[in-house]
Amino acid sequence: MAGLLFLPIAAPLVAASLAAIFGWHRWTAIVTALSAMAILGAGVTLAFFTDGESVVDSHHLVRADALSSTMLLVIGAVATLACLASIGYIDAELADGHTSPQAARLYGVLLPLFLATMALSVMAMSIGVMWVGIEATTVVTAFLVGHRRTRAALEATWKYVIICSFGIALAFLGTVLVYFAGTTGEPGNHSLDIDVLLSGAARLDPRVTSLAAGLLLLGYGAKAGLVPFHTWLADAHSQAPAPVSALMSGVLLSVAFYALLRVKSIIDLTLGEGFMRVGLIVMGLLTLAVAALLLVVQTDFKRMLAYSSMENMGIVAIAAAVGTRLAIAALLLHVLAHGVAKALVFVSSGAIQGAHGSTAIANVRAVLARSPLVGSAFTLGIVVLLGLPPFAMFASEWGVARALAAQHFGWLLGTMLVFVAIAFTGLVRAGSSMMLGAPQAGDTPFVPPRAIGGTLILGIGLSVALCFSLGPLTNLLDAAATTLGAGR
Amino acid sequence: MKRDPVASGTAVRSGTGVASGAPAVSGGVTAALGALGVVVGLRAVFGAPLHASIGWLVPFAGLRIDLDPLGGAFMALTGAVAAAVGVYAIGYARREHWARFPLVMLPVFVLTLLVVPAAGSVTTFLFGWEAMALTSLALVLTEHHRDEVRSAGLFYAVLTQIGFVAILVALVSLSSASGSGDFAGIRAAAGDLGPALRNGVFLLTVVGFGSKAGLLPLHAWLPRAHPEAPSPVSALMSAAMVNLGIYGIVRIDVQALGGGPRWWGTTLMVVGAASAVFGVLQASVSADLKRLLAYSTTENMGLIAMAIGASMLLGASGLASVAAIALTAALLHLVAHAAFKALGFLAAGSVLAGTGLRDLDRLGGLARRMPYTTVLFGIAALGATGLPLGAGFVGEWLLLQSLIHTPQGDNTLLSLVIPLSIGALALTTGLGIVAMVKAFGIGFLARPRSEGAEKAREASPTMLVGMALAALGCVVVAVAPAALGPALTRVASTLPSVGGDQGPKLGAILRLPGAAGSVSPAILAAAFAVAISLVLLLARWGVGARPAAVVRPLWAGGGPALTPRMQYTATSFAEPLQRVFDDVLRPDTDVAVTHVAESRYLIEKITFRTAQADAVEEHLYWPVVRAVAAVARGVRKAHTGSIHLYLLFGTIGLLVVIVVGR
Amino acid sequence: MALSIALAALQVLLVLVGAPLVIGAMRQVRARLEGRRGGGVGQPWRDLRKLFRKQQITPEGTTVVFRAAPFVLLGSALLIAAIIPVVSLGSPLDSSGDFVAVVGLLFLGTVALALAALDTGTAFGGMGSSRQMTVVALVEPTILLVLFTLSLRVHSANLAEIAGGTLANPAQAFSLGRVLAFASLVIVIIAETGRLPVDNPATHLELTMIHEAMTLEYAGPRLGLVEWASGMRLTVLLVLLANLFFPWGVAPGGPGLVQVLIAVAAIVAKVAVLAMALSVGETFLAKLRLFRVPELLAGSFLLGILAVTASSFLPAAGR
Amino acid sequence: MITATYTGILTLAAGSFLLAAVLIVWRRGLRATISLLAWQGVALATIPIANGVHQRSWMPIAVGIVVLALRGVLLPLLLARAVRGEDQGAREPTPLVNTTAALLVTAALTMIAYAATRPLIEHSPTPGTRAAPAAFAALLIAVFVMVSRRRAMSQAIGFLMLDNGIAATAFLITAGVPLIVELGASLDILFAMIVLGVLTDRMRQSFGDTDLNQLRELRD
Amino acid sequence: MSWATRILKVGRIVQASPAAPARTVPSPTGTRASLQIRHVDAGSCNGCELELSGAFSSVYDAEQFGARLVASPRHADALVVTGVVTHNMRGPLIDTLAATPEPKLVIAMGDCACDGGMFRNGYGVAGAVGDFVPVDVELRGCPPTPDQIVETLRKVTGR
């Protein structure tokens, strides 16, 4: 069991070392993809063992419960897509001379490292280690975002690193304060462990904890793309290579949010539900508003997708604010479905960008007619993101809505849906102008590289598999919600 | 509106080689689903309710099917439309070379249409509702290579989503307040809900369902999307999908909430009346055949909403038997509208397929090249006029009767609302006649105004069969509405406030309960036949002294032979009316005079163009859109790209947290 | 039953025979007022007889719509004559068709003629049709409002009920609402039957025509049918005007011979008076500019609304 | 170590820590700033070492030594090396806020820090906690430096100050978080600084200088 | 109301009509006292038109004898053609006659219509009415007086 617990972290590390030693090769890339699948596999296996009871590893280093398993599933699923897409992406870049072998090697190393840090974050025993993992993702992804070394990429990277580091540093301060609120001066090696904090949460000093809660909210919110530290997101997501954007949008945000959920479950025990709820509602609504409004005036499709991620994080934050069992389960489903759909959309947007050499919405026309596969994948992804049935995000958004109504948050639901509708408008308008229409002179058909095509087909399959029903996943989501102490 | 054959060919056939049998399969499956819907729906109406619950579908909620007479009736109606459309689609899809995607989506769309009325829980309902929106959107976008289609699709998507938001908030509040996600449970608990919630739910449902039914003010998608969709889809949307908007209002406001205070009914009547008048006005000045039909849908849905509103108002005033008349009027007109609008759009589709045109100004003379289609469209148009012997007559008659039978001397609200409603209804029927005479007379009679119309092809046999099925529906509603009597009675019995045995008797003669007032379309039709034969007899007078009949060229006022260009067009036909309603319609006219090169005093040609903007759109939508865009620009201005500003945002957040958090 | 059918037949016959006479009488009154001698009351009958002996010309390119329209027009007029209470309240069709149906049948005829005009494909046909439909669009609402005013007291739109109600309660006959309704119905009849000032039935200037423009292509017997039908439509409308507002003299359902005779005499007298009044009025009026016609009709619509409001707010004296 | 001395040392360390931060706001020369940063690192390292001595535990002392090495020596050296590449006299161009206003803001921030940390002192009124407001003030000042400085390197320095501030707060109030967390955090900071350094280099290559006002291409 | 009093004061304007002339022309349909007339101006100087309208005025009142002007040849029993037939009006004249249903007759009114009159040799003149359509009744005069017109019409209507 212990081995299984370490697998999600170790497998990508192995892949990273191989890539570091041998440089970028198709086989190292495949190993990376296999390590992503290992994460997925570990998630699936752990899901069977984590119905309510958490599995704890020795050394008090990593642990897994239903929530961690769910997050591993999300990471694994999206990472598999992203790693497969990376093969086609980097190969194409190398073939076109857009990237050097050194840069490719760096990419090959950092991509699995990125996966490892995320796996570490969701499996960390201690919220301190969890923080380390999340801060490490910033460091690791910095050069992934800046992979293309253009001025814009550099600018995005700088903003990304500075803003995220600033934010995440606040989370560290918050973590320290939580530690301080629990211990009265005596150091203890395990006092930041999740289970220890949960059992001792009632003894935390409320005033210190409330300061800590605010800082944690801001800090992890920065990484999750919540206002006011959201400003890095669109730049970084639009400048990163498509597979990396997919990972960042699809999972990194969720992993950061996972951290927020973890600390929320502790703080709620100390301060009651109200404190974090207010914060999450304010930040969630602001995020939603900013994202929705920027979506309708958007002219760049990769930024549009980034803002769509923000929009969804806003919804997730509001769901977390409600915090009932239904809300949390719906939130997790939302995260999963959003991850897969975003991967699909970002990977296909990469293919579109490759074919046009531009990310301006106005320059893209008639993709469905010119490249049915890419067009279908992008369209399907957008449809999923719009929350239309039979796809999973309908169920998750509907679950959130029900949870909100059940807690008498009618006004919140209404406000949220207004912004969702505004975002809907933006997405539909941009999506239809890109996908539909008849090709005009100069609009040549294009075919994505085989690996990317395969990824798209796989992504379409995953999205379709998530419609209508989740099968056993439903129980897992329920158990995950229970581990967060969401009783109702 | 002329289609570019090259563009259409490439986009429609792109990437898919559709087997020649595929349209038959798609249309056949659609028709079979429709037939199944009719059977299941009718069984439910007549006492075999269907219950099913599937917990594992749709996470966290599960699906639940509860088919009662109300749902059954709508399902049967939808199914009937789908059956006709399905048969039609076989020929249409073949002729228009549909790609695989719309062929697949057509039966799926019908399936979602059937699911909505069968839904027993809020989740199932919303699931079906959104699935319906999605599939119909996909179908609307079938010919997405045309710009108008994409614009229509965007309008459709956004307005539908706004409507959906309203419905979702209403239903979720209702179900959480009543503690049940099932309609049955909501119904049981509805009595205990607070007035604020009930009022809120009512307003939201009127907005949300009204948007689907094409009622003002969220109607603007309808006259765009319905014309731009492929005609079988237009037919399904206009004859089946919009009905579900009405269904929602009946299901939630009439059945579950059991009606409300008087202002509910009044509101619905005002909305309905405004929609009816606005819709018919737009229809009567519209020069696009399908757009005209689409606006006519807004008109008829407005009338139905008016009838339901009247029923609610009367029910709230304690006049159950009159309320029952109004409700029957609504349901009957719903059926009638489904029949004639399906037929209308299918016939318009045949015209489009046969000529490539839907611009009335370029059509004409189809009666000779497409005789069957012409006759069938004539039946539809007669139905839409609301004149006797047409399908729309009985419904409008009942509505008028319900208004007449409202005692009102002692009730100021009724005394105000009822006469104004009559005025609106009257104006609507009057203008409706103009619109339909224009559509039929300009489009199908006279002489072809363009090459496309001249070379029209008659619809294929399956298309004709599909249309004939719809026409059969029209004839049944027009002549023997009694056939619908039992079903309508069953439906009405499930609705509080009009329940019981109070509804009008739909026998061979329609009689109103406890009131003088009756009409019999069947006897009228028979008597009319007698009258016509009498006239035939009269026409024999002097036949012996008469020279043999001849065919002569048209009398051209002495001038050289008339050319088709000299005919009145749809635009000129509507011009006097447009003048009358100038202030309401505010047309955009533009006269361009081209002089001959040699002299300013000689005119080579004069172009007169008149465009009809939608006043509601102009004064409601765009201001909202502009406001949102202005706010969005403000937000965008706050994202200048300056990292210092971004860090400042974070710092402000930090300071707020420090101040609040301690 | 047999009696009522016989009565209906009598009504149809009466209208059929009387309609040309009504037209003739109106022309005659006008001629006299203009200081002329006039063609005589029987002139329309002579014209009809002649038309049925003339050659039938079918314009090239027209369809069955053109050929059928006169039959629909006249058929609907006959049907209306059978439904409405001309001499008796006991029409066998009274329960099958009420005021709404009658109005509908009336417009069915109008629509048939308008379509026939469009069917010819001539500029004048389209013009007449367009104008006629504009008039219809404004006339129909007014008629329904009048109908509503009338049916408000008796809660029925069935004509026998309305007329019977007035008979039973004569005090109601002169309420404000009914006076307004009467006025607007008169305007409507003028517009619908193409009389001055809306349309000039004697014009031969195409550009000012409404009704005539639609019939320009008809010849011979078909023209005869159309003319006959026009007369009948005017007549039945006058009958309605007479018997709904002043139903005295109308025989009840299942009447005796004397009652029928009185009723025939009464209706002939009433229609004659109304026709003459109409004709006198016409003599003093010039035709309105076409685009001022809607103002007139809007005025009548307004009168209708006022009538309805007056009737629903002010309880009648006899109530 | 007797408590009075311990308290004195902590207060002195915290005070000089804050003073370094204020001076960084005042001075605009990059090299001087880096020296001040090193001084701040030393002051920071003093805190755990004092803690360790006071509690007679080797662990905080070890942490202190690591901190000294990293923040007092290694990172300033790295920064100094990066600054050597700057050609324009290694001087911050006119900052967005002038020096007088900046000092006023600094004063305001210090007061806010004192107000904000009251709950900490009330929760556990140890000598370390009493000194914590100074560290917290330094943290806020660091944020201010990041917001107001235009040179990429200055912003990196601000970030390092921010981390120093957090670390100081942590050491003062808790005598150190668990070792693994501390190590992880330090490692992350190191890497972050390396990343920033590399990025500054790249920036200089592609933009010609490191004025952050040039980073305005990406916007909506 | 001054109109009403004036009407009463003036009374009948129409001049007394002489006894009906012998019916020299067979009525087109065999119906007495019903004649619908379509007037065709084939190239007239408008003198005849003036007189024609006089014939239908209150003083002469041709309508009392069953004659009426109509708007369409389809409605007409007779064409009254005035003026010489110009080149431009030759076709329309023939078309108009063709558009008139049987039985029908053509009344050539005025000298010009009968034989070309004073315009006979004009450059724009194609000929007299009789050159192109069969003329049933000739009404001489330049222009014929309303009395003559009415009398001719009465010969046709038989009243």
Q: What percent of chain E has pLDDT over 90?
A: 31
DSSP code per residue over B544-570: TTSPPPEEE----TTSSPP-GGGS--H
> Is position B112 within any domain?
no
Least CB–CB distance from D174: residue in A187, A211, A234? A187
pLDDT at C317 exceeding the cut of 50: no
**pLDDT attached to residue B13:** 40
- Determine whether the interchain pair E30/B545 forms a contact, defined as Cβ–Cβ distance below 8 Å: yes
What is the average pLDDT score of chain E? Answer: 87
Q: Which of E32, E64, E77 sits opposite C37 (nearest CB)?
A: E64
pLDDT at E145: 92
- Tell me what pLDDT residue B14 has: 40
Q: Do the domain assignments include residue E82?
A: yes
CA D52, D53, D57, D58 dihedral sign is: positive
Which DSSP helix (H) or strand (E) runs through B50?
strand B50-54
Q: Could you count the other beta carbons within 10 Å of the beta carbon of residue B582?
A: 11
Q: Which residues of C5-42 are buried (b: 16+ CB within 10 A; e: fewer)?
A: eebbebbbebbbebbbbbbbbbbbbbbbbbbbbbbbbe
Same domain for B639 and B526? no
> Which residues 423-452 of A have a C-beta within 8 angstroms of B?
424-425, 428-429, 432-433, 436-439
Q: Do D220 and B642 touch (CB under 8 A)?
A: no
Quickly state the pLDDT bin for E109 (edges 50, 70, 90): very high
Residue A216 neighbours by CB distance under 10 Å: 31
Task: Please count the structural domains in chain C.
Answer: 1
Phi, psi dihedral angles at B47 (to 5 degrees): 90, 15
What string of pLDDT tens digits covers the 488 residues of chain A?
A: 667 888 889 999 999 999 999 888 888 999 999 999 999 998 888 888 776 566 666 567 788 888 888 899 999 999 999 999 998 888 888 888 888 888 899 999 999 999 999 999 998 888 888 999 998 999 899 989 988 888 888 888 989 999 998 998 899 989 888 888 876 545 566 778 888 888 888 888 888 888 889 999 999 999 998 888 988 888 898 888 888 999 998 899 999 999 999 888 888 888 888 888 999 999 999 999 999 999 888 888 888 999 999 999 999 999 999 888 888 888 998 999 899 899 999 989 988 888 888 888 888 888 888 888 888 898 989 988 888 888 888 888 888 998 888 888 888 898 999 999 999 989 988 888 888 888 887 778 888 888 888 888 888 888 888 876 777 788 888 888 888 875 54
The H or E element that residue C159 is part of is helix C159-168
Which of these ranges, A246-260, C93-107, C302-316, has the smallest mean pLDDT? Answer: C302-316
How do strand B50-54 and strand B63-67 relate by DSSP bridges? antiparallel
Q: Which of B545, B558, B560 sits opposite E96 (nearest CB)?
A: B558
Task: Give pLDDT tens digits for C155-200.
Answer: 788 888 888 888 888 777 778 888 888 888 888 888 888 887 888 8
| Number of independent structural domains in chain B | 2
pLDDT digits (tens, 9 = 90+) for D163-209: 888 888 888 887 666 777 777 788 888 888 888 888 888 888 887 77
DSSP string spanning A282-350? HHHHHHHHHHHHHHHT--BHHHHHHHHHHHHHHHHHHHHHH--HHHHHHHHHHHHHHHHHHHHHHHHHH
**What interface predicted TM-score (ipTM) does this complex get?**
0.87
B442: contact with C, CB 8 A cutoff: yes
Nearest partner of C83 among C192, C8, C133, judged by Cα: C8
Asked whether residue B431 is domain-assigned, the answer is: yes
Contact check, Cβ <8 Å, E75/C218 = yes
At C319 the pLDDT is 38
Report how far residue B512's alpha carbon sits from residue B640's, in angstroms, rounded to the nearest whole number: 70
Beta bridge partners of E86: E125
Question: D147 and B654 in contact by Cβ < 8 A?
Answer: no
pLDDT value, residue E39: 92
Rounded to the nearest angstrom, the minimum Cα separation between B324 and chain C is 16
Tell whether B548 lies on the interface with C, counting CB pairs under 8 A.
yes
Q: Which residues pair with E137 in a beta bridge?
A: E107
Nearest chain A Cα distance for residue D98, angstroms? 23
- Name every chain D residue with its beta carbon within 8 A of the beta carbon of B647: 143, 146-147
Report residue B171 as tokens.
Answer: 């239903």
Q: How much of chain B exceeds pLDDT 70, in percent? A: 95
Residues in chain A with CB shorter than 8 Å from the CB of B643 are 158-159, 162-163
In this complex, the chains that touch E, judged by 3 or more CB pairs closer than 8 A, are B, C
- Expressed as residue numbers, the domain containing C16 is 2-140+201-284
Last residue of a domain, one of B539, B566, B595: B539
Of A232, A294, A413, the CB nearest to B632: A294
Give the separation between CA D167 and CA A212, rounded to whole angstroms. 15
Residues of B in contact with D116 (CB under 8 A): 658-659, 662
For C142, which residue in chain B has the nearest alpha carbon? B426
- From the number of C-beta atoms within 10 Å of its C-beta (0-12, 13-18, 19+), residue B5 rates as exposed
Contact C/D (≥3 CB pairs under 8 Å): no
Q: What pLDDT is stored for residue A298 in this prediction?
A: 87
Contacts of B416 (CB under 8 A, 6+ apart): none
Domain limits for position B648: 622-661
Beta bridge partners of B510: B506, B519
- The answer for A 87-126 residues in CB contact with D (under 8 A) is 126
Domain count of the fold of chain D: 1
Per the domain annotation, does C301 fall within a domain? no
Check CB contact under 8 Å for A191 and D170: no
- Stretches in chain B below the pLDDT threshold 50: 1-17
Task: Residue D160: give the domain boundaries.
Answer: 3-212
The more confidently predicted of residues C276 and D92 is: C276
C216 touches chain E (CB under 8 A): yes
pLDDT score recorded for residue B8: 38
Distance CA(D120)–CA(E61), nearest Å, equals: 117
The whole-angstrom distance between E19's CA and the closest CA on chain B is 29
DSSP state of B460: P
Classified as helix, coil or strand, E96 is helix
Q: How many structural domains are present in chain E?
A: 1
Spatial separation of the C-alpha atoms in residues C268 and B167, rounded to whole Å? 62
Contacts of E7 in chain C (CB under 8 A): 33, 35
Give the domain extent around E125.
Answer: 35-157
B535 and B638 co-located in one domain: no
| Identity of the residue in D143, D218, D220 whose CB atom sits nearest the CB atom of B636 | D220
Give percent above pLDDT 90 in chain B.
Answer: 19
Report the b/e string of B238-272 with b at 16+ CB within 10 A. bbbbbbbbbbbbbbbbbbbbbbbebebbbbbbbbb
Q: Is B176–A232 a contact, with Cβ atoms under 8 angstroms apart?
A: no
Look at the block and give the residue holding tokens 């014009």: C203
Residue indicated by tokens 């065919």:
B551
| Residue spans per domain, chain A | 2-483
Asked if residue E21 is part of any domain, the answer here is: no
Q: Give the SS3 label for residue A276.
A: helix
Which of B641, B650, B662 comes nearest D218 by C-beta? B641
The residue written with tokens 């923000």 in the block is A310
Residues 392-431 of B with CB under 8 A from C: 393, 397, 400-401, 403-405, 407-409, 415, 418-420, 422-423, 425-427, 429-431
Res. C318 pLDDT band, cuts 50 70 90: very low
Residues of chain B with C-beta less than 8 angstroms from the C-beta of E101: 547
Task: Tell me which of D6, D166, D216 to substitute to probe the interface with A (most A C-beta atoms closer than 10 Å).
Answer: D166
Contacts of A392 in chain B (CB under 8 A): 59
Residue E81 lies in a domain: yes
Min Cα–Cα distance to chain D from B317, Å = 57
